[in-house]
């Protein structure tokens, strides 16, 4: 198709993701009229509309849906060509787009960035924090190079690289510090504070406590682990947090910490990337650095008072 460029494909991909010309233009770093011109050029080349233009959002036409699928495959392959060139250049250099889930990012990311800047000084890390579902979608669409998430992901197109395991701990009001550590069955009858839906840590906590969402009166939600810990300090209930979060989240909170008797609830954290990524071998080097940082952070958490 004469005149078709990667720019057309990238702009159309952005429009499909955001379903809005203004938001897509912002994501691409161009003006809305400029984006509109590029999409009209693309439609003229194809001889048919790709989108239905509404007053607020757009919708893809049947051609738009089919074209988007092929366009994204092309963009992924082009990205892998760039990665192939980078893999032959020696030490990993240039941009690394790394996703990381919210229940890991505040406790691991600053130290990871410092370690990578020291050990891989030519690497430019571009982190993005989001929930697992969003990170995996961006990874499969080549908008991320790798992501740090809770394993397993069980996505056939992705390679999983285990980093470390960490226990969950119980956070409860100071007034309950001398009480026995409740069993999962006892937790079912307590006011349990959890992250809002979309966070994998919420599902892991529910699984351990054997609590289903059919008991909504016992569940209260927060948007972050910090919020949950502060709610516990205010006497609103109890919560579970990953051990790595202890030093930061309980530093100024009026709460007590209790560790469960073995087998303790735990999660596995790992790094994932596309199996077809030519940088896979070098991403394992990045993973090894992250693993070292994680081990150090968990030792600090182990030293936190119970």
For the chain, give every residue range classified as CATH 3.40.190.290: 94-306
Task: Determine the pLDDT at residue 3.
Answer: 78
Task: Determine the pLDDT at residue 154.
Answer: 87
Task: Determine the pLDDT at residue 217.
Answer: 45
| pLDDT, block means (10 residues), the chain with 306 residues | 82 90 90 92 90 84 90 82 63 82 94 93 91 91 91 93 93 90 82 84 80 54 88 90 90 88 88 88 91 84 61
Beta partners for residue 147, in sequence order:
99, 272
Q: In CATH terms, is domain 6-84 a member of 1.10.10.10? A: yes
Task: Determine the pLDDT at residue 302.
Answer: 67
> Are the C-beta atoms of 103 and 205 separated by less than 8 Å?
no
Q: What is the dihedral of CA 195, 306, 298, 192, to 10 degrees?
A: -10
For the chain, give every residue range classified as CATH 1.10.10.10: 6-84
Task: Determine the pLDDT at residue 214.
Answer: 45
Q: Report the candidate in 304, 30, 291, 292 with the shortest Cα–Cα distance to residue 151.
A: 291
> Are the C-beta atoms of 219 and 211 separated by less than 8 Å?
yes
> Are the C-beta atoms of 35 and 18 separated by less than 8 Å?
no
**Whole-prediction pTM:** 0.73
Domain boundaries 94-306, corresponding CATH code? 3.40.190.290
Q: Report the candidate in 11, 134, 29, 6 with the shortest Cα–Cα distance to residue 82.
A: 6
Task: Determine the pLDDT at residue 212.
Answer: 58
């Amino acid at each position: 198709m004469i005149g078709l460029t990667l720019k057309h494909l990238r702009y159309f991909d952005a429009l499909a993701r955001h379903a809005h010309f203004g938001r897509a233009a912002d994501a691409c770093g161009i003006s809305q009229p400029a984006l509109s011109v590029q999409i009209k050029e693309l439609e003229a080349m194809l001889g048919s509309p790709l989108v239905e233009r509404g007053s607020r959002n757009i919708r893809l036409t049947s051609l738009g849906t089919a074209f988007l699928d092929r366009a994204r495959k092309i963009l992924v392959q082009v990205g892998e060509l760039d990665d192939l060139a980078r893999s032959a250049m020696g030490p990993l250099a240039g941009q690394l787009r790394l996703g990381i889930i919210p229940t890991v990012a505040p406790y691991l990311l600053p130290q990871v960035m410092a370690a990578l800047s020291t050990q891989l000084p030519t690497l430019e890390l571009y982190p993005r924090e989001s929930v697992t579902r969003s990170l995996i979608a961006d990874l499969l669409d080549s908008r991320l190079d790798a992501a740090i998430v809770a394993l397993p992901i069980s996505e056939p197109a992705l390679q999983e690289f285990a980093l470390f395991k960490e226990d969950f701990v119980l956070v409860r009001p100071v007034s309950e510090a001398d009480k026995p550590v409740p069993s999962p069955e006892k937790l079912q009858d307590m006011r349990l504070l959890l992250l809002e839906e979309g966070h994998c840590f919420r599902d892991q906590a529910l699984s351990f406590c054997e609590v289903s969402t059919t008991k909504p009166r016992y569940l209260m939600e927060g948007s972050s682990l910090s919020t949950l810990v502060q709610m516990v300090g205010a006497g609103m209930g109890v919560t579970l947090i990953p051990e790595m979060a202890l030093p930061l989240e309980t530093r100024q909170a009026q709460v007590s910490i209790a560790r469960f008797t073995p087998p303790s609830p735990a999660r596995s954290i790992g790094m994932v990337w596309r199996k077809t990524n030519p940088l896979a071998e070098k991403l394992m080097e990045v993973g090894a650095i992250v693993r070292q940082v994680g081990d150090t952070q968990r030792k600090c958490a182990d030293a936190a008072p119970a």
